[in-house]
Amino acid sequence: MPLPKPNSGEAEEAFMERCMSDDKMGAEYPDKDQRVAVCMTSFRDAKEQDMSDQQQDAIEYEEGKMDIEAEIKAVKDQDDEGGFEGYASVFGNADLGNDVVVEGAFAKSIARRGAKGVKMLYQHDAKQPIGVYDEITEDERGLRVKGRLALGTQRGREVYELMKMGAIDGLSIGYRVDAKGYDYDDKGKRRYLKSVDLMEISAVTFPMNPKARVQAVKSDRTIREWESFLRDEGGLSRNEAKAGAAALNKTLDQRDVGEESSELVAAMSAVTTLMKNGD
């Protein structure tokens, strides 16, 4: 049977009296001590959930319109499948909510929580964790992150595939900030975030800060795997396989080819030459 629930603002004493005198509770739990324990648990669970909801409401997010450029590139030095890296926040530029993150804003939070203490979520949904962060650091540009998507979960696999395609290339932070953590410029109508409590970083479709992007997604095959393939299946020497693997890995991964088309053409040409020489 459903347990009695506290009403909004109902004090513990009032709830306990109502719960203990409930006819259905009396029939289900005739033992008084047992009934006390059940009512108390119901009250405390409800209060904890209410506090969690309030904390969630207090978190601010960066989410809005994405810009049109994708910056997904291959990562050749990551051993774990599902790995990606990018910037979750960029210093000094105004986001679509007219907030500007100041360099050093995350330092205290990172030191206190560590990378594993910052949750990796999908679209800021606390019910959809999708992996873990291994590194979260500040550099001169912004908040740089390296993480691993949980490929053993359906959502983790989906986000991984969407990242590789460029369908999801935004990162967005969820944070708390108090009155001492920011300055407000009345003239420019901008809020300058100086110190924030970083709660989570989400993979999102539309980041509030257009420059907060996934920059790299680990390719399906590592260079070492390509080397083995080219040696075993292509009959190439070790040196040829290494050169060919680097070219293939560079060419076949999802990337922004607009600025690097000449490199890709050269890479494909190198692979073609190697394979021809191996025949």
The single residue of 42, 89, 124, 240 carrying the catalytic annotation is 124
- 32 lies in the same domain as 130: no
Residue that terminates a domain, selected from 218, 233, 257: 218
- 66 lies in the same domain as 204: yes
The single residue of 62, 63, 200, 227 carrying the catalytic annotation is 200
Give the angle subtended at the CA of 215 by the CAs of 98 and 165, to the nearest 5°: 110
200 is catalytic: yes
Mean pLDDT score of the chain:
74
Q: Is residue 178 part of a domain?
A: yes
Q: What is the mean pLDDT of residues 166-172?
A: 85
Residue 145: which CATH number? Answer: 3.20.16
- 133 lies in the same domain as 258: no
- 43 lies in the same domain as 90: no
- 166 lies in the same domain as 240: no
- 73 lies in the same domain as 209: yes
pLDDT at 240 > cutoff 70? yes
- 133 lies in the same domain as 87: yes
- 249 lies in the same domain as 141: no
- 91 lies in the same domain as 210: yes
- 107 lies in the same domain as 191: yes
172 is catalytic: yes
Q: pLDDT tens digit string along 39-97? A: 877 777 776 566 555 555 455 554 332 332 323 333 433 445 789 998 888 899 888 77
Q: Is residue 2 part of a domain?
A: no
Q: pLDDT tens digit string along 87-135? A: 888 899 888 778 899 999 999 999 999 999 999 999 888 899 999 999 9
- 95 lies in the same domain as 182: yes
Q: How confident is the model at residue 279 (pLDDT cuts 50, 70, 90)?
A: very low
Burial class (CB in 10 A: 0-12, 13-18, 19+), 39: buried
- Of 25-29, 217-221, 247-251, where does mean pLDDT reach its minimum? 217-221
H/E element, 155: helix 154-165
Residue that terminates a domain, selected from 170, 201, 218: 218
Q: What is the mean pLDDT of residues 156-184?
A: 88
What is the rounded CA–CA span in Å between residue 211 and residue 188? 21
Residue that terminates a domain, selected from 218, 241, 258: 218
Q: pLDDT tens digit string along 171-190? A: 888 888 888 899 988 888 88
Q: Is residue 6 part of a domain?
A: no
- Domain span including residue 48: 12-58
The single residue of 172, 202, 219, 227 carrying the catalytic annotation is 172
- CA distances 215 to 69, 72, 92, 169, 245, Å, are 11, 5, 19, 8, 21
- 69 lies in the same domain as 195: yes
Q: Is residue 3 part of a domain?
A: no
Number of domains, the chain: 3
